[in-house]
Structure 1
Amino acid sequence: MTVTPAMITCDTTDATALATWWAEQTGGTITEENEGWYVIVSVPGGPLLAFQKVDEPTPGKNRLHLDVVADDLDAEVERLRGAGAGLVAERGDESFRWVTLTDPAGNEFCVAPRS
């Protein structure tokens, strides 16, 4: 027997706002809102993303994060930063590079070139 990942869930103090941001960045659609307590985003070609309202954010670095890919790494990082993402670090070397960003709630995610 095996399991299949179906949804990635993120705790946040404002589930609707963070779900809306991720829906805009991924071309996704909010498919379920549950009065702002649990918001689900359907992403084209990807797993569902869910955002669960919690009273306090989880302290420290998140142990699980999203890796997303882009056709033009530099252009996509610029677009995401313009949309409110924060820069953590540019990483890698000439053979493979990626950029670690934060979403508006401070959750880290990485952007890499599509291979």
Structure 2
Amino acid sequence: MKNCNGFMLIEVMIGMFIISVIISVIFPAIYFVQIERVTLKEEKAAEHILQRLTFESLKNTGHLEEKVVYKNNVTYTVIYGQKLTHSELCLQWEGRSGRLYERCSYF
């Protein structure tokens, strides 16, 4: 029999199996990283909105009401609360990951 320089079918199948296992492990990790990047952008937008609303509430001493803010396809709910010693202004939203988030500012 002559010396063949090609691959046998079993070698190709083993190589394809190894590549498919690597891809099946890496793809969910890449997807998770992408979702977390979007979540960080949502949190940054929420902090920006919260700073702006806190500044407006300090400038206007009147009572603030609950309202809804839309930014970057995310719905943020603004909640204002008055305590004995301080006031609080909170933002709540549902992130792309499906989890509920809340950021508050106290003044």
Q: Which has a greater percent of strand? A: 1
Settle same-fold status: TM greater than 0.5. Answer: no
- The structure, 1 or 2, with the larger RCO (C-alpha pairs under 8 Å, 6+ apart) is 1
Alignment TM-score, normalising by the size of structure 1:
0.34
TM-score of the two chains, using structure 2 as the length reference: 0.35
More helix by share: 2
**Which of the pair has more CA radius of gyration?**
2
